[in-house]
Structure 1
């Protein structure tokens, strides 16, 4: 890409803190412009009662980004799925062949928006029956067409690395700097 990739991470109340903050941290380390967006309040309460200040409030600006990311969490994933603005945004991104990434319970919003039909996806344990429009694959991270999905709270590192690769970044040096390979990551 000629310009820096831009990624919008959506933070609904009940987001999974470890997933969300790790994704943002890794993408920013990679030089990808990454902003968090909240819906109702500047400070968003996470699944484990941590309040984090979002970079921006959700609005039309998100459509200008190259990728949207939906982290999981309880009830974060359900709150994303139940938000008609999120569903409309997912459909807009899919129709315009932009990238969509979701992990853990955030993947249920993809099923609600009907953007995974005929695409390989993964999600949290037991989500094969929740992501029935897609072809469920039991892999840590799955990338098919414009959709990146991942399984759960232990997977934001490989998920973020896959996002970097989608934007044509070599992740070898990043993995070395973070000691990812030393820690047993693949």
Structure 2
């Protein structure tokens, strides 16, 4: 049986996500049997990027208005600069993220994805990594930023950039397979 058979995973993204940071984790969890939904701010298509260049568009499966963390076993937050910057200004998206932590469910964020974690106020006293340009934001929010390929802290998986995707995806599958984790609630 696949490691994630029967599990449901949300990928929260909007226009401006780094495409490979959505597609590679999505493939990793799907290959292990998980059902995956791309959750976004609005119905329709969202625009991926390969760094600064437009890439493919992806269909939104659910809007953040129509889902709750209780619908899923794990959450993935891809990076890119514009994607998390837009998500962190949307109260429903931020609450969706916060609810995964309140329910002790695995959350994975890569690159600039942890910006949304900062806005959700869930990084305090946690060890994590990110793209280096947001390390000050993480530290100012009380997080312990480290420069490592992949960091796991009580079900929170973080990585720095696309070069870390293999290690990131491996840990995402592992943490979602393990399920709920002991951690402080928000």
TM value normalised by structure 1: 0.83
Match of 1:164 among 139, 157, 173: 173
User: 1:28 and 1:111, CA in 2 relative to 1: closer, same or farther beyond 3 A?
Assistant: same
Cα drift, residue 3 of structure 1 = 6.2
1:115 paired to 2:115: no
Select which of 28, 31, 41 maps to 1:29.
31
RCO greater where, 1 or 2, for CA within 8 Å and sep 6 or more? 2
SS at match of 2:113: helix
The SS at the match of 2:81 is coil
Matched with 1:138 is 147
2:67: which partner in 1?
Answer: 61
After the TM superposition, which segments of 4 or more aligned residues of structure 1 sit over 3 Å from their partners? none
Q: CA deviation at 1:41?
A: 3.3
Distance (Å, rounded) in 1 between the aligned partners of 2:6 and 2:43: 28
Structure 2 partner of 1:92: 99
1:112 shift after superposition: 1.1
Aligned to 1:80: 87
Cα deviations by residue, 1:77-117 (Å, 9 ceiling, x for unpaired): 21121111111112211112112211111111101111011
Contact 1:94 1:146 in 2 (8 A): no
Q: Is the 8 A contact 2:7 2:73 kept in 1?
A: yes
Q: TM-score by structure 2 length?
A: 0.83
Does residue 105 of structure 1 match 2:140?
Answer: no
Q: Which residue of the other structure, out of 6, 22, 37, is the alignment partner of 1:20?
A: 22
User: RMSD of the alignment, in Å?
Assistant: 2.0
Deviation at 1:56, TM superposition (A): 2.7
Which consecutive residues of structure 1, in runs of 5 or more, have no partner in the other structure? 170-186
